[in-house]
């Protein structure tokens, strides 16, 4: 028996050592919501260890990176606590340039979301709350399969209010597969396998299969009963990606760029007035019956600059109603350019009838076209960044001055943040084919 123990002990000792080694391996990552610091030795292991991980490729000297860091610290525990967690990590891409080159990092900070090892560029918002919501959407399945009433309620609650939600009841699983992937960034999609009459009452459908559209932010809901061919499904989805009446804002203008429908636009003095609220109810009713249009509204007080492009300035006779092509042209209906206070529902109906009958006057927007207007919106941030960069560069050279022998001095690091310095042609420390650029917030 003693001889047997002598042979057994080394085996037990080996198993024990192996277990202890696995517990202290340097690639055991924290999952408590702390942002994980990666390096060359741990990067691949992290990507393989987590189904969903957001990686911040940063540089220590980058000001944008420093401003992003506390936002990621705030978002990390929220994302880690999800039912399907997303973890946040960061990599010093200025130091580990081979990895940066592998993932085509050309500026700082660059965020990439890895889902089951497959990277996708993250270009969404970077404030903690908005980033969290955006990442949750990107990391979710194209179409979530829901098994019960409880899972439907959890799905709707988890989706939040900012994006529309499409839920298929009694539909084939492949019916939404393609469209769920195509419109993933713009909406939530779910399919319910088993549901009760309570769901039918709650979501107001009386037969199935049915596709229910919800827009919690605007308290809107509609139902589609087919036909369930892809073309008809897509039409229904596209019509419900926007609310029935769209408040014109910078963010909604961006959404309108992707919608090919003409826009029935109503301009009021002040969106917050009671009479404007009553008019919006009329517009919602008209929008329900005329889904071939998008219905939008804007207050002169809220965004006068935009309203003025349609010849609606302070002192104008408002509300004004028109049909806008989304670019340079808009149309007014003869005799119905303005909505009087009495019987506005009848006036809106007659306006739409007049437009369809061609009783219109074509007008041109004043100032920039919609496309150039949108480009200017998109370009404001870039212009400001360029101005700041140039100012900093001038200040650096001014303060640096010249050295005692008349030779201009150089900063040791790229403190003006245009990206990293080009890789040296010398063999020392060279990394093939990699130069940096600048990423703005």
Q: Which residues, including other chains, have CB under 8 Å from residue 150's CB and lie 6 or more apart?
A: none
- Lookup: tokens for 118: 């497959």
**Contact at 8 Å (CB) between 240 and 213?**
yes
- Identify the active-site residue in 35, 59, 62, 88: 62
SS3 of 195, please?
Answer: coil
Q: Where are the beta strands (DSSP E) in 143-292?
A: 144-146, 165-169, 188-192, 210-215, 220-224, 245-247, 262-268
What is the full DSSP assignment across 260-298?
Answer: -SEEEEEEES-TTSHHHHHHHHHHHHHHHH-TTEEEEEE
Q: Which residue has the tokens 């340097």?
A: 26
- Lookup: tokens for 166: 């499409």
**Contact at 8 Å (CB) between 228 and 170?**
no
Residue 326 backbone zone (phi > 0: left; psi -120 to 50: alpha; other: beta): left
Q: Which residues, including other chains, have CB under 8 Å from residue 54's CB and lie 6 or more apart?
A: 79, 86, 87, 88, 89, 111, 112, 113, 114, 122, 135
Distance (Å, whole) CA 93 – CA 105: 8
Q: Which residues are bridge partners to 215 per DSSP?
A: 220
- Identify the active-site residue in 53, 65, 237, 256: 65
Q: Which residues, including other chains, have CB under 8 Å from residue 11's CB and lie 6 or more apart?
A: none
- Lookup: tokens for 268: 């009021």
Catalytic-residue membership of 65? yes
Backbone phi, then psi, for 371, in 5-degree steps?
-65, -50
In what order do the strands lie in the sheet containing 360-364? 245-247, 293-299, 262-268, 320-324, 329-333, 360-364
- Lookup: tokens for 112: 């990439």
Q: Which residue has the tokens 């809901």?
A: 221
SS3 of 30, please?
Answer: coil
- Lookup: tokens for 243: 């609310």
Catalytic-residue membership of 62? yes
Q: Which H helix or E strand runs over 397?
A: helix 370-400
* Residues recognised as catalytic: 62, 65
């Amino acid at each position: 028996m003693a001889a047997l123990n002598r042979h057994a002990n080394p085996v037990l000792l080996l198993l024990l050592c192996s277990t202890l080694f696995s517990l202290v391996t340097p690639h055991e990552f924290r999952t408590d919501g702390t942002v994980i610091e990666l390096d060359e030795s741990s990067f691949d292991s992290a990507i393989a260890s987590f189904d969903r991980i957001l990686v911040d490729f940063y540089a220590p000297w980058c000001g944008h990176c420093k401003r992003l860091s506390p936002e990621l610290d705030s978002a990390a525990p929220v994302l880690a606590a999800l039912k399907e967690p997303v973890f946040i990590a960061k990599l010093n891409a200025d130091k580990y340039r081979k990895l940066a080159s592998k993932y085509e990092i050309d500026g700082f900070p660059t965020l990439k979301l890895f889902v089951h090892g497959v990277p996708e560029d993250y270009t969404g918002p970077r404030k903690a709350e908005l980033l969290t919501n955006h990442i949750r959407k990107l990391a979710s399945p194209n179409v979530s399969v829901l098994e019960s009433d409880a899972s439907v309620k959890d799905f709707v609650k988890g989706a939040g209010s900012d994006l529309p939600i499409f839920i298929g009841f009694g539909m084939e699983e492949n019916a939404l597969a393609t469209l769920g992937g195509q419109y993933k960034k713009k909406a939530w999609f779910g399919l319910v396998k088993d549901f009760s009459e309570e769901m039918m009452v709650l979501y107001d459908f009386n037969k199935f299969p049915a596709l229910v559209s919800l827009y919690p932010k605007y308290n809107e809901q509609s139902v589609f009963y087919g036909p369930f061919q892809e073309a008809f499904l897509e039409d229904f989805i596209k019509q419900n990606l926007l609310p029935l009446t769209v408040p014109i804002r910078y963010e909604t203008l961006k959404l309108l760029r992707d919608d090919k429908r003409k826009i029935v636009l109503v301009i009021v003095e002040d969106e917050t007035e009671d009479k404007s609220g009553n008019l919006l109810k009329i517009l919602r009713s008209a929008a329900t019956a005329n889904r071939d249009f998008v219905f939008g509204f804007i207050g002169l007080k809220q965004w006068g600059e935009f309203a003025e492009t349609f010849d609606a300035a302070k002192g104008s006779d408002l509300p004004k109603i028109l049909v806008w092509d989304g670019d340079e042209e808009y149309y007014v209906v003869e005799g119905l350019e303005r909505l009087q206070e009495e019987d506005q529902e009848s006036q809106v109906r007659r306006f739409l009838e007049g437009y369809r009958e061609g009783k219109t006057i074509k007008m041109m927007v004043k100032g920039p076209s919609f496309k150039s207007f949108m480009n200017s919106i998109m370009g404001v941030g870039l212009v400001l960044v360029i101005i700041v960069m140039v100012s900093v560069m001038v200040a650096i050279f001014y303060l640096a001055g010249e050295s005692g022998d008349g030779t201009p001095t150089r900063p040791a690091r790229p403190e003006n943040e245009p990206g990293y310095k080009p890789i040296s042609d010398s063999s020392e420390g060279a990394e093939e084919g990699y130069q940096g650029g600048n990423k703005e917030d």
